[in-house]
Amino acid sequence: MTDKTLVILISGRGSNMEALLDARLPARVAAVVSNNSQARGLGVAQARGIATAVVDHRAFPERAAFDAALAQEIDRHRPDLVVLAGFMRILTAPFIERYRGRLLNIHPSLLPAFPGLDTHRRALAAGVQTHGCTVHFVTPAVDGGPIVVQAAVPVLPGDTEERLAARVLAEEHRIYPQAVRWFLEGKLKLEDGRVAIDESCRHPETVVSPPGRP
Ligand code: GRF
């Protein structure tokens, strides 16, 4: 058993959440919290016996009030780490400050390229040959926090947004549990606004999609 505790925030499908639950991390997932009562991932979490909660952003007049309610829900569980897994709300600076150094996000592009939404469509439109995903600590700069790990995938001839998204998602499911594990094992920290990571985490195959994986 472990004394570490995670809270996972989702807004929808929850496949990254599932990858985290499947990864047998050295932590207890105390709760999955969503801003969207219809999020598919809530049912998946419940089916695994994990506590869920909904803090509906539409019930709050402004972001600050929503973030305060969300923080209250999270803090009930005293998590060591809060994991954004497809959580589609922009968070206010006080919220981010409260969880400084213990708030991770996954973004479906090789940041700093393509912050924001519709990353796969924009990558195809830009004609990039390499795309991918990024795990980063969250700071007030949207999708701009210090980078922990990235995985790259090729953009292949004839790719559609869906095919490219699926190729990237497979890598998300690989690197996000890896990054969370490093954090839980004390190998990954945010120090003075920079990522401090144990040398043992720097295997090339954790950074780049292995060759032969289309
Ligand atoms: C993922 O592509 C993630 O990178 C992005 O939103 C998507 C969420 O997918 N932030 P899921 O809910 O984890 O399946």
Catalytic residues: 107
Structure tokens at 51: 């506590």
Q: Which residue has the higher pLDDT, 207 or 78?
A: 78
Q: What is the pLDDT of residues 153-196, one digit of tens each?
A: 999 999 999 999 999 999 999 999 999 999 999 999 999 999 99
Task: State which ligand 1 atom lies nearest to the alpha carbon of 15.
Answer: 14
Mean pLDDT of 107-111: 98
Mean pLDDT rounded to a whole number for the chain? 94
Cα-to-centroid distance, 87 and ligand 1 (Å): 8
Cα dist. 183→6, 21, 42, 55, 126 in Å? 11, 16, 24, 26, 34
Indicate which residue's Cα is closest to atom 1 of ligand 1.
86
pLDDT band at 99; cut points 50, 70, 90: very high
Mean pLDDT of 200-205: 73
Asked if 33 contacts 74 with a C-beta cutoff of 8 angstroms, the reply is yes
pLDDT score of 203 more than 90: no
Nearest-angstrom CA–CA distance, 157 and 196 = 37
pLDDT at 214: 47
pLDDT band at 62; cut points 50, 70, 90: very high
pLDDT score of 124 more than 60: yes
Would the pTM of this model clear 0.85, i.e. be above it? yes
* Domains defined along the chain, listed by start: 1-99 (3.40.50.170), 108-136+150-214 (3.40.50.170)
Task: State which ligand 1 atom lies nearest to the alpha carbon of 88.
Answer: 10
pLDDT at 207: 54
Indicate which residue's Cα is closest to atom 14 of ligand 1.
15
Q: What is the DSSP letter of 78?
A: -
pLDDT score of 1 more than 90: no
Mean pLDDT of 119-129: 98
pLDDT band at 202; cut points 50, 70, 90: confident
| 79 touches ligand 1 (CB under 6 Å) | no
Indicate which residue's Cα is closest to atom 7 of ligand 1.
86
Q: What is the pLDDT of residues 3-61, one digit of tens each?
A: 899 999 999 999 999 999 999 999 999 999 999 999 999 999 999 999 999 999 999 99
pLDDT band at 210; cut points 50, 70, 90: very low
Task: State which ligand 1 atom lies nearest to the alpha carbon of 13.
Answer: 12
Q: Which residues contact 126 (CB under 8 A, 6 or more apart)?
A: 114
Q: Which residues contact 72 (CB under 8 A, 6 or more apart)?
A: none
Q: What is the DSSP letter of 146?
A: P
Radius of gyration for the chain, computed over Cα atoms and rounded to the nearest angstrom: 17
pLDDT at 204: 60
